Amino acid sequence: MDHHTIVLFDGVCKLCNGFIRFYHLRRINDDIRYLPLDSKEAAHYINDKAILRDLDTVIVLKNGKSFTQAAAIIELIKDTKFPWKLLSFVALLPSGVLNTLYAFVAKHRYKIFGKTDQCAVNYKE
C-alpha cells in the first residue's frame, strides 16, 4: 500500500522516537507510515528515491517530494492539529539557520537524550 506520507527516522534515538509519538498523536493525516532509517523497508524507499542514507536526519517523503533536516520537521508540523500547526511559522526563518540548529541537535542527540536498544515506535500501523 502506498502511503501519502512516509517518515524515515533514527529508530534508536530517544528524541526521534519521542517526536514521532508526539506527531502521531497530533497529526491530521492518517495515511502515514513510520520507518526506522536502518530498516529493510526504509532502504527500499531510500533506494527508490535516490536519497542518501543519513542517520543524522529525518526524511519525509510526501507527494513525490523528499524533505530532510529542518524542512522535514516543518513539513510534519504543517500536518498537525491546531494549535501545534502554528509552530510551522519557523519556516519563515532562513533555512541555513534552521539547518544549522538541526545539525547541532542531531550531532548531540544521543548525549543529550540517549539511545534505546531498539525502535520504540510501532511503525507497522
Model confidence pLDDT, tens digit, residues 71-112: 999 999 999 999 999 999 999 999 999 999 999 999 999 999
What is the reported pTM? 0.85
CB-based contacts of 69: which residues, under 8 Å, 6+ apart? 57, 58, 98, 99, 102, 103, 106
Instruction: Let me know the angle formed at the C-alpha of 111 by 23 and 36, rounded to the nearest 5 degrees.
Output: 40
Is it the case that residue 57 has pLDDT exceeding 80?
Answer: yes
Q: What is the pLDDT of residue 11?
A: 87
Mean pLDDT for all residues in the chain: 85
* Helix, strand or coil, per DSSP, at residue 35: strand
Q: Please state the domain extents for the chain.
A: 5-113
Confidence band for 3, pLDDT divided at 50, 70 and 90: low
* C-alpha cell belonging to residue 116: 534505546
Angle between helix axes 95-113 and 14-26 (nearest 10 degrees) is 120
